[in-house]
Amino acid sequence: MLAEYGQQVLNRINFARGRIYPSFQVNASAGSDIYKSDRINMKLQVDGQNLTNVMDVIDFGGLFSGNAIGPSRSYSLRLTTNF
């Protein structure tokens, strides 16, 4: 199993109970109006997913699905302009 999945994935699995160990992730989002007038409205939004960057095993050989690993840390920035 070590060659197939890697040690980091195997450390997240409780083989005795046949379950995945719980994990704690931090996600954050913030937004603000940066410019507002009668004709133009600009908004800025920043999102961060899995800020703690934990390895998250979503499923490990369930009955109807295969194995899945959660996404690593990611950020996004969105600027919206309405006129």
Q: Tell me: the pLDDT tens digits for 34-66?
A: 999 999 999 999 999 999 998 888 765 655 566
Q: pTM for this one?
A: 0.69
The count of structural domains within the chain is 1
Distance, CA of 42 to CA of 80 (rounded, Å): 6
What pLDDT is attached to residue 2?
Answer: 67
Alpha helices (runs of H) in the chain, residue ranges in sequence order: 2-5, 7-10
Sheet containing 28-36: which strands, arranged edge to edge? 28-36, 41-49, 74-82
**Residue-range definition of the domain harbouring residue 11:** 2-82
Compute φ and ψ for 64, nearest 5 degrees.
-115, 10
